[in-house]
Amino acid sequence: MAIGWSGTCWFIPGPTWLTPTVLEGLAQPTMTHRSPEFKVVMAELHGRLRHSFALSPTTTEIGQQAQEGEDGYSVVVVSGSGTAAMEMVIANRFGPDDRVLVPTNGKFGERVAQMCENFTCVTHLKGEWGRAFDLGEIDSILSNGTFDGLAICHNETSTGITQDAPELARIAEKHGVSFILDGITSVGGLPVYPAEWKAEAVVVGGQKCTAGPSGISAVAISESYIQKMIKNREKENSSPVYYLDLIQALKKAADDQTPWTPSINLCTGWVAALREQDEEGIEKRWKRCESLAKGVRNMFTSLGFELFADENQRSNTVTAIFYPEPDWGEEWRRWMAVEKDTHVIGGQDHVKGRIFRVGTMGVTSREEMIEGCRRMIEGFRHFGMDLPPHDYLDVESYFR
Ligand SMILES: Cc1ncc(COP(=O)(O)O)c(C=O)c1O
C-alpha cells in the first residue's frame, strides 16, 4: 500500500519539527527591534498568539493594541524558553508571604513547585507520576482560606497526563485563589480556555504545539493578574525582577515592542508558524492532535503495550508507553533514530528506561504518524517482540 510519508518521523514532544515556511520565517534580514518593521511583526505575533490561547480575537495590525482583547486578557512575548515565561509569571505575581498550592504528578509539575519555592511560600502536593490529582484533597487544602494561588502543569509532558483544568478552575474560583497554568504543551494543541477558566496566567512555549522555534515563549494574563501583580511589586519584600519585569514587558507590548532586544528572528519564525496554525484553524488543530493521540493509544494498547497515564486523563499531545522490556528499551529508541529515522523520547528521572513518549503535537500529519507507527512496530519486531506481521496489522485503521 502506498505510504504518504517517506522522510523523518519526528515525534519528540517539543521541539517539534519546523516546516520550510517557518525556516524561511526565521531567515529574515536583520532589523532593529525599535523599527516600524519589527512593530509589524510584534503586532501580528500578539494577534495570532491570542488564537493559540483561545482568547477573544483582536487584530494583527500595528498600533492597534493587538496584545489586549475585550476579554481583558493580554499576551506578552518572552525572549526565553517556557521556563523563563513561567518564572516571569510567578516572580511578578507572588511574594514570600503568599501561599501557593502546587499539586504535581510528573517532572514538569515538580519544576513548577521548585520554581515557586524561589519566590513564594509553597505547599507541594507531590503525587505519583501519571496518576490523576485527588481533586477532593486539593479542594480540602484550599478550603482553609490561607492560600493565594493554585499553580499546575496543565499537560504533564513527562507522563502524558492532562489535568482536569475545568474542575481545578472551579475549585480555584470557589476558594478565591489565583489559577496559574504551565500550558507549555497544551496551548495550541489542546482546548485551553483561560477566560472561561478565569485563569490568571497561562504560559506557552514556541517549540511545542504551535510548531514554532525554541527559545521563545509567551504568557496570557488576566486583568486580575495585572492588578495583583502591581500590588505585589509595590511591596517592599517582593522578589527582585529586572529582565523578567512583566510590568515593563506589558507596557512595551502595548506599543508592539519588547523592553529589551528580543530574539528578533525567533519572533519572525514564530509568526510564520502561527500563520500556519491559523490556516489550519486552532480547533481543527486540537482535533488533529486528538485523533493522532487516540490512534497511538489504541494501536499500542491493542498490541499489548501498557500506557503510563491514568485512563481518563490521557493527553492528546503526548502519550507515554511502557517498554515491553525495560532492559532494551533505550537501545530500541536509539536504533529507531539511527536505523529508521524515527524519533521518540524516553522517560525522565525514575522512569528513564521504562517508558517512551510519542508526541502528537505541532504539524505532525496522519501520514507521518502512520508511517512512524509502522516503523516503530518493525523496530519492536527487530528487538524480538512477537507482533502481527505487516499484512495482518492495519496501522492505518487506527488513524481513520
Ligand atoms: C509541560 C512543560 N513545562 C515546562 C517545560 C520546560 O520548557 P522549556 O524547556 O521551554 O523551558 C517543558 C519542556 O518540555 C514542558 O513540557
Q: Which residues pair with 357 in a beta bridge?
A: 320, 345
Cβ atoms within 10 Å of 378's Cβ, excluding its own:
16
Instruction: State which of 102, 185, 217, 266 you would mutate to test the pocket of ligand 1, scoring each by most atoms of that ligand within 8 A of its C-beta.
Output: 185
Using the mean position of ligand 1's atoms as its centre, give its distance from the Cα of residue 353 in Å.
20
- What confidence tens digit (pLDDT) does each residue in 295-319 have? 999 999 999 999 999 999 999 999 9
Atom index in ligand 1 nearest the CA of residue 207 equals 10
H/E stretch holding 345 reads: strand 345-346
**Which residues are registered as beta bridge partners of 318?**
359
Q: Which residues line ligand 1 (CB under 6 A)?
A: 14, 81-83, 108, 153, 155, 157, 182, 184-185, 205
Q: What are the angstrom distances between the C-alpha of 28 and each of 25, 79, 266, 274, 278?
A: 6, 17, 10, 16, 21
The closest residue, in CA terms, to atom 16 on ligand 1 is 157
Each domain of the chain, given as residue ranges in start order, spans 9-16+281-399, 20-279
C-alpha cell at 344: 521518540
Q: What's 9-16+281-399's CATH class?
A: alpha beta
Q: Which pLDDT does position 2 carry in this prediction?
A: 42
Rounded alpha-carbon distances, angstroms, from residue 16 to 50, 169, 213, 353: 21, 29, 8, 22
pLDDT tens profile 185-221: 999 999 999 999 999 999 999 999 999 999 999 999 9
pLDDT of residue 4: 72
Question: Contact 378/19 with Cβ under 8 angstroms?
Answer: no
Tell me the C-alpha to C-alpha distance, in Å, between residue 356 and each of 18, 156, 328: 22, 14, 12
- Candidate from 157, 187, 190 with most ligand 1 atoms within 8 A of CB, to mutate: 157
Ligand 1: centre distance to CA 113 (Å): 14
Question: Are 132 and 310 in contact, with CB atoms under 8 Å apart?
Answer: yes
Beta bridge partners of residue 124, listed in sequence order: 102
Distance between Cα 2 and ligand 1 center (Å): 37
Cβ atoms of 247 and 232 within 8 Å: the answer is no
State the cell numbers at 237. Answer: 519584600
Three-class secondary structure assignment of 141-170: HHCCCCCCEEEEECEECCCCEECCHHHHHH
Q: What is the pLDDT of residue 388?
A: 83
Strand 216-221 with 201-205, pairing: antiparallel
Instruction: Fill in the DSSP letter of residue 353.
Output: T
The widest CA-to-CA distance across the chain, in whole angstroms, is 70
- For each successive 10 residues of the chain (400 residues), what is the average pLDDT? 77 97 97 98 98 96 95 98 98 98 98 98 98 98 97 98 98 98 98 98 98 98 98 96 98 98 97 98 98 98 97 97 92 97 98 97 98 96 89 89
The CATH class given to the 20-279 domain equals alpha beta
What's the 392 CA to ligand 1 centre distance in angstroms?
39
Q: What is the pLDDT of residue 1?
A: 41
Contacts of 195 (CB under 8 A, 6+ apart): 54, 55, 56, 71, 72, 73, 222
Rounded to a whole number of angstroms, the CA Rg of the chain reads: 21
Distance in Å, CA 83 to ligand 1 centroid: 6
**Residue 241 pLDDT:** 97
Residue position matching grid coordinates 529515522? 341
- In 3D space, the residue among 138, 298, 289 whose CA is nearest the CA of residue 209 turns out to be 289
